[in-house]
Amino acid sequence: MSVQELLDSNRGLGPPRTIRAQSVDGVVYLHGMVDTGREKWTAEAVASQAPNVARVVNLIGENN
């Protein structure tokens, strides 16, 4: 399963496509906006579980 599919299927992260993932040579860059810090760190944890991910760069902003 891809990083984006994992993020889209996670119910704790809001509507699909709120967070976008881009993968380059095992590094995943997360972009988008969320309502809470918890969602931001949940997205990072979910992305890190995808196959072939060596590192996650979390560039997600919070709407607070």
Q: Is 62 helix (H, G, I), strand (E, B) or coil?
A: strand
The Cβ-side half-sphere exposure at 10, using a 13 Å CA radius, reads 23
**Tens-level pLDDT at each residue, the chain (64 residues):** 899 999 999 888 877 668 999 999 999 999 999 988 999 999 999 999 999 999 999 999 998 7
The structure's pTM equals 0.90
Q: Which two tokens stand for residue 48?
A: 């890190």
Query: For residues 60 and 22, what is the distance between their CA atoms, to the nearest angstrom?
Result: 12
